[in-house]
Structure 1
């Protein structure tokens, strides 16, 4: 004898089961997205598509023009980011392992970055002088550091400070970069452990 199947009850049961499974799967994902957001990532391509000649002659320019491509990525797929204050990017070099000399500074004004968005900031700065090789090497050791702040697009969220940096090496003989492509800015900044020698134009005491 054929058994009668209550398809309505079966469909209702499957529907309720799918809702519970959806809750158990979606809730942890939503909590991870909103309750534990990720910090933005920063990377830079220094001297991007720029012909370099680090060999000094009497006819060489007294200042160096630095081209850069700064990449800022919001790693959060569900939360936007506010950068209310300017992000300050400083370009320096190491004449020796215990000294950092400032060459130029760039200010990126505040902006909003949408969910999962990436922004490229392409620009150039003119250095206040010309870097020398790192003592005891054939390398010019550039240092880029970024100082700024951001906050998540949520009510009553606090400001998060950013202090990151990276090293970019240039072979003095070949004028070629020792790292290709974008270099991630990481913490802690190496420059925080070193004594900075400001440019004369900065007016520091």
Structure 2
């Protein structure tokens, strides 16, 4: 299917989400790839990953960009040649791109029970308000993970730890937003975050609080 959702968290930021239902050959006919991108996608062993990669290029087209407008730095962070900020994510059958005039991060994750196992590796302060017996426990854990992953992409600093350096302020699912902090190298950074759920997936974005 074409574009699944378009969101505007603030006046300077746009999110576009794609539901990946098209066969692989459709994507190859829909986008134009630079040689290094073609080599990269051709080397992927999973067709699902290939379709995710190519759906991101479709989202770039929806923003008015092409694959040639996108490049990655030495840390693997994506950039746009026009100076706008971008973040990219895909998970199973969904992908998303966020473009903004300010630093941003985005993540999509499928809501799965297995997140219980890894929760101690990324949740610290958040145990003060998480209820492991609540019916929304998995959903809240997934929101926290997505927010922290978005912060990690935005901050793009080697050594940043989800557990030691990030925290998410208490929230309810119906809030669809909360604040989050990065406390790193004796400096505290505050970010606004927004999140939504759809078809068993969670998407979160992070951006500066002064937007």
TM-score by length of structure 1 reads 0.19
Please identify the structure whose Cα radius of gyration is greater: 1
Structure with bigger strand share is 1
Q: Which has the higher contact order (CA 8 A, sep 6+)?
A: 1
